[in-house]
Amino acid sequence: MRCRVCGAALSEGTLFCGNCGSSVTASRVRPPEVADSRPSDTSIVQPLAKPAVAGRFPGSVDVDDDGLPPTEAIEVVSIESAPRAASVRLFRLSFSTGESVDVLGSGLIGRRPITQPGEHVDQLVAISDPARSVSKTHLEFGLEGDDLWICDRYSGNGTVARPLGGVARQCEAGRRYRVGRGTRVDIGDQWFDVS
């Protein structure tokens, strides 16, 4: 068995790589729940609770600059999702770094995104940002009916939604905002287009 991050040889049953410290096992995620109603407000969906406070992880000694335990570099991870109706058009996020991701449900975007305890998402999207202007877990996204929403996760440099032909909006941390196709979303020095 080899480490997925650095390629070092690992013994059977190893949980962490002795060379780079990355986790050998991937976390399990739960399938998305189907929303049964749509909110009436067209711009703000609902508030999100503030994330855990830095240093409050029992038994944790090391924390990164955002106060969360170090994690491994992660590529896009998704689970099997329920079959979608043929009429539903998928959203695609095309990043300034060259990657593109099809939205399969809920997810997190950042340099090395991780979920909070008890939180379940369908996708973790890691983007390259050597300047570290993007937080480790910068943004949350998800589907509400036929709409895509985003939510800034109390990032260091914020999130700005720039609708095609519309006015740019600074996203308040912890609030969900619907974004349409053609919107450009700035996350730190990076960005992605919604199509």
- Label residues 56-81 b or e (16+ Cβ within 10 Å = b): eeeeeeeeeebebeebbebebbbeee
Mean pLDDT of 110-133: 93
Summarised one tens digit per residue, pLDDT across range 137-191 is: 999 999 998 899 999 999 999 999 999 888 999 999 999 999 999 999 999 999 9
Sheet holding 169-170, edge to edge: 100-102, 92-95, 190-194, 184-187, 159-162, 169-170
Please say if the pLDDT value at position 18 is more than 90.
no
Sign of the torsion formed by the C-alpha atoms of 43, 143, 85 and 101? positive
- How many Cβ atoms from other residues are within 10 Å of residue 111's Cβ? 23
- Report yes or no: 35 and 144 within 8 Å, Cβ to Cβ: yes
Helix (H) or strand (E) segment spanning residue 191:
strand 190-194
Report the chain's mean pLDDT, rounded to a whole number: 76
**What CATH fold (topology level) applies to the domain 73-194?**
Tumour Suppressor Smad4 (2.60.200)
User: Which residue type sits at 191?
Assistant: W
Distance separating alpha carbons of residues 114 and 163, to the nearest angstrom: 28
- Report yes or no: 100 and 92 within 8 Å, Cβ to Cβ: yes
Please say if the pLDDT value at position 121 is more than 50.
yes
Please say if the pLDDT value at position 15 is more than 50.
yes
pLDDT confidence of 73, banded at 50, 70, 90?
A: very low
pLDDT confidence of 76, banded at 50, 70, 90?
A: very low
Where do the DSSP E strands lie in 54-183?
77-78, 92-95, 100-102, 107-110, 123-126, 139-144, 147-152, 159-162, 169-170, 175-179
Q: What is the pLDDT of residue 3?
A: 75
Distance separating alpha carbons of residues 37 and 16, to the nearest angstrom: 42
pLDDT confidence of 66, banded at 50, 70, 90?
A: low
Summarised one tens digit per residue, pLDDT across range 21-55 is: 666 654 333 444 444 444 444 445 554 554 444 44
Q: What is the pLDDT of residue 29?
A: 38
Sheet holding 175-179, edge to edge: 44-47, 175-179, 147-152, 139-144, 107-110, 123-126, 77-78
Boundaries of every domain in the chain: 73-194
Q: Give the residue with greater pLDDT, 115 vs 87.
A: 115
Distance separating alpha carbons of residues 151 and 137, to the nearest angstrom: 11
Q: What is the pLDDT of residue 4?
A: 73
